[in-house]
A = this chain, B = another copy of it.
Amino acid sequence: MRPTQMIAALLMLLVSAPAFGQAGRQFAGEWDVTATSSQGTAAARLVLSVAQGQVSGTSGPLDTNMYWPLEVTGAGNGDALLLTFSFDGEPIGTARVAPSGEQLQGSGTLYGTPVRLVASRPGAPNRPEIMHRFAPTEYQLHFSSRIGPALVIAPGDTVVTSTLDNEGRDAQGVFRAMPGNPLTGPFYVEGAMPGDTLVVRLVGIELDRNSAHMYGRQLDARALPSGYAQVADAEADRAWRLDREGGVARPARPGERLTNLAVPLQPMIGSIGVAPPGNQSISAGDVGFHGGNLDYNRISAGTTLYFPVFQPGALLSLGDGHAAQGDGEISGQGLETSTAVTFRVDLIRGGAPRQPWAEDDREVMISGIGNSLDDALDMATANAALWLKDRYGLSDSEAATFLGAVISYDIASIVSGRPHVVARLGKAALDQLGAPARRNE
């Protein structure tokens, strides 16, 4: 008998004895459970049923890395509930929880690690939508569940706030935070749980000063073949002037050849995302399945983004505004500036996409983030195919036919930690597929 089998046998003896009476019913149903340990917080949906005094059910992963979905059994112990968790038949821990107000609270040991458990009934509070005016006083350089919420909001709420430039300066050009895409947030969205979809509509992005900067001394080496030599002009100036009435940006001190250059303003948010899984703390300059430094020049006013939720409250943060940006961000920067931004959040229960996607009036834009452009394109294509199959019920062959004929790609960024490619599908073509089987809301 292996040790794990021995423990399992002992646990079964323990939990099988005292069966619930009627009172056990209070434990039945769906719970949002969080397991907090020295490793951080793991959160999951826990579903319990009670039959003949025995509790059984399933839970999403409660290890910090969110690897392993769990089987659950339970039995009563006075007011409390003794729970046993197993993965693939092998017991991985136990806990004791008891009612406390509308919650269950308690503690136990998962994978040899002491945890505190709190379970609540799912759902956000039912209250009118609020317009929050949020003036940040502190900024964050990372996406992480370890950072406490700056503001608690609810689905349907709108937030009016501001972002610093990539180096930490505000609308007056004064340092308010350290360089490296300091983020406004995180915003805790009530009711959001791992597996849900966070919806963020960018209602408005206003430029709030007349200056921007873009490194332009040379192109980023990642945009050029090995061996391509550039002669960087040490005098080259990175300052741009933003003509907000005229709707264009101009180099502040251009050389002769660029004297007449006037780039149309297209205000956008460069870095936006949610807290990643586990105890990870990911730089605001990196990009991933949680979003982050997406640096896509169509994340602008009128665009709605859909993020997977990995942590309770989602923990949305945003920053790194650009007055304009070419594809790929190939000089390493957009026209970096501060912004006044207004966004509205919503929540879709479940349906977490693998990677973020977005839409505006004309197109659906599905992100692929990978280790190389090839990987990123492959991810974008797969995400688009899965999106089509999920929403419109297409077969693989129908998805191939549709995508082969109508897909477009954008290269969003190649300098933001990892390459980001976007698959675009026109809404005119999508409309030809009939009504989606599943709507976004």
Interface residues of A (CB under 8 A from B): 2-4, 7, 37-39, 63-65, 67-68, 92-93, 110-113, 138-142, 144, 146, 168, 172-180, 214-219, 221-233, 236, 249, 251, 254-255, 257-258, 260-263, 278-283, 285, 324-333, 335, 370-375, 377-379, 381-382, 385, 392-411, 414, 418-419, 421, 429, 432-434
Given the contacts A258-B401, A260-B432, A68 and B179 also touching, CB distance less than 8 Å: yes
Chain B residues positioned under 8 Å from A223 (CB to CB): 226, 377-378, 381
Copies of this chain in its oligomeric complex: 4
With both beta carbons as reference points, the residue of chain B lying nearest to A232 in the complex is identified as B397
Q: How far is the CA of A228 from the CA of B418 in the complex (A)?
A: 20
Given the contacts A327-B409, A329-B404, A382 and B225 also touching, CB distance less than 8 Å: yes
Q: How far is the CA of A228 from the CA of B225 in the complex (A)?
A: 11
With both beta carbons as reference points, the residue of chain B lying nearest to A414 in the complex is identified as B377
Given the contacts A221-B226, A226-B228, A280-B281, A429 and B397 also touching, CB distance less than 8 Å: no
With both beta carbons as reference points, the residue of chain B lying nearest to A221 in the complex is identified as B227
> B140, B225, B400: which contacts A216 (Cβ < 8 A)?
B400
Given the contacts A217-B397, A219-B404, A263-B405, A172 and B281 also touching, CB distance less than 8 Å: no
Given the contacts A141-B39, A263-B405, A329-B404, A418 and B371 also touching, CB distance less than 8 Å: yes
Contact, CB under 8 Å: A401 / B179: no
With both beta carbons as reference points, the residue of chain B lying nearest to A326 in the complex is identified as B407
Contact, CB under 8 Å: A178 / B231: no
Q: List 14 A-B contacts (CB under 8 A).
A: A38-B138, A224-B226, A226-B378, A229-B229, A230-B396, A233-B396, A257-B398, A258-B398, A261-B402, A263-B405, A280-B281, A326-B407, A331-B401, A333-B404
Contact, CB under 8 Å: A178 / B219: no
Contact, CB under 8 Å: B257 / A218: no
Chain B residues positioned under 8 Å from A144 (CB to CB): 279, 281
Contact, CB under 8 Å: A168 / B112: yes
Chain B residues positioned under 8 Å from A64 (CB to CB): 141, 178, 180
> B4, B113, B258, B372: which contacts A433 (Cβ < 8 A)?
B258
Contact, CB under 8 Å: A4 / B257: no
Contact, CB under 8 Å: B141 / A65: yes
Given contacts A141-B278, A216-B404, 14 further A-B contacts (CB under 8 A): A4-B175, A110-B178, A216-B397, A216-B400, A218-B400, A224-B382, A226-B378, A228-B382, A230-B396, A231-B397, A236-B400, A262-B432, A278-B283, A331-B404
Contact, CB under 8 Å: B111 / A255: no
Contact, CB under 8 Å: B260 / A434: yes
Q: How far is the CA of A279 from the CA of B64 in the complex (A)?
A: 18
